[in-house]
Amino acid sequence: ETRQSRQRAWVEVNTAAIQANVRALQRHIGPATQLMAVVKADAYGHGALPVARAVLEAGAACFGVATLAEGVQLRRAGISSPVLVLGNLTQPEELRSCLRWQLMPTLSSMREALLCQNLASGSGRTMAVQLKLDTGMARLGADWQEGPRLVAALRGMEALDLAGIYSHLACADAAPEEDDGLSDLQQRRFESVLSSLNEQGLTAGCRHLANSAGTLRGHRQHFDLVRVGLALYGQPPAPHLAGVVSLRPALQIHARVTLLRQVGAGVGVSYGHRFRTSRPSLLAVVSIGYADGVPRQLSNRMDVLFDGRRLPQVGAITMDQLVIDATEAPRIEVGSLVTLLGDQGGESISPLDWSERCGTIPWEILCGFKHRLPRLAV
């Protein structure tokens, strides 16, 4: 009996696939550009520590996390590579922890810079930081036009080491026919800051702009480093970017059939009877639900894979269970494995498929898998 066979449902994570993706992405960006592995949100649900160790082995240069706790988790596990906190840290306590754990905070304002300078100089240490500029996302970052002035000010703060300058693309995954040129505009704004720094003889460390979509779009947005999340996990950010680099999906979701029921025609299934059988049917109850991260909005709109073929999910997805119509699969048994995300035979179902069916994005699907589901590395 394998470990898997004792689970009712689980997330299978293929770290070799993630390593292959790092290598494929590194070939795409070339040797002059480094790869930052974005491992926030528990590595998009794949497990931060196993992913961090795997990508380091495959050549990732550094890490991006969203919160202080995510950075500390890497340090406590003995990972010593550079870590950039992509989210904003505003409390002196948080910034003090950055110093202690050698995590780089992102600065979006003079206020944050002064706070870091005071804390670092007060403890007689130097603090590595990165400056973020808003070139069109209107979220974090200082106005890009303030860039040269801020870099000059930061360079004057002797307790700060300005290790990088970056911005973030808002619409890099837009399909070509919907691209209104924002990514190009953001790139030109970023470049104009860099050239005025050049003119003033100011350096700002590592320069970076691209997320996964920016990385896949083309080389002009790569600069010194790319910050890759979704593509690292083998998921394309949008259908038109799927073929640019050959990526291997790293995550599969499997669950077990726990009960089989033969019912007649006209039987209402699950809460609200949102599905009614149109013929005598074999229903299979599968032990996974929305509390595990299967979006309830997929009720009656998703398939699962069994024995290399698709079977429709029917009725409302409930907290811990969902029902599939297995009439076409008489070989199904209690204990049979069904695959919700992943591949079997020639069939595959991706987070992008789910997201398109329920009006969200693959990022949210991946982050939705709860710790109630064990992660099994294969």
Beta strands in 1-40 (DSSP E): 9-13, 34-38
Q: For the segment 63-102, give every residue that binds ligand PLP (CB under 6 A).
A: 64, 86
Binding part of the chain for ligand PLP, among 112-120, 206-214, 253-261, 366-374 by CB under 6 A, reads 206-214
Residue 255 contacts residue 340 (beta carbons within 8 Å):
yes
Q: Under 8 Å CB-to-CB from 219, ≥6 apart: which residues?
A: 29, 30
227 touching ligand PLP, by CB under 6 A: yes
**Catalytic status, residue 271:** yes
- The residue among 164 and 315 lying less far from ligand PLP, judged by its C-beta, is 164
Q: Under 8 Å CB-to-CB from 369, ≥6 apart: which residues?
A: 11, 45, 253, 292, 293
351 touching ligand PLP, by CB under 6 A: no
Structure tokens at 272: 């609200």
Q: Which residue of 211, 281, 299, 321 would you call a contact of ligand PLP, by CB under 6 A?
A: 211
CB of 260 to ligand PLP, least distance (A): 40
277 touching ligand PLP, by CB under 6 A: no
229 touching ligand PLP, by CB under 6 A: yes
Structure tokens at 65: 């996390």
131 touching ligand PLP, by CB under 6 A: no
Q: Which residue of 104, 128, 209, 228 would you call a contact of ligand PLP, by CB under 6 A?
A: 228
Give the separation between CA 232 and CA 249, rounded to whole angstroms. 9
Q: Quick one: which of 278, 305, 308, 293 has its CA closest to 358? A: 293
Burial class (CB in 10 A: 0-12, 13-18, 19+), 150: buried
- The residue among 217 and 227 lying less far from ligand PLP, judged by its C-beta, is 227
Letters for 14-33 (x = contact with ligand PLP by CB under 6 A, - = none) are --------------------
113 touching ligand PLP, by CB under 6 A: no
Sign of the CA dihedral running 241, 247, 251, 255 = positive
230 touching ligand PLP, by CB under 6 A: yes
**Catalytic status, residue 290:** no
Supply the residues annotated as catalytic: 40, 271
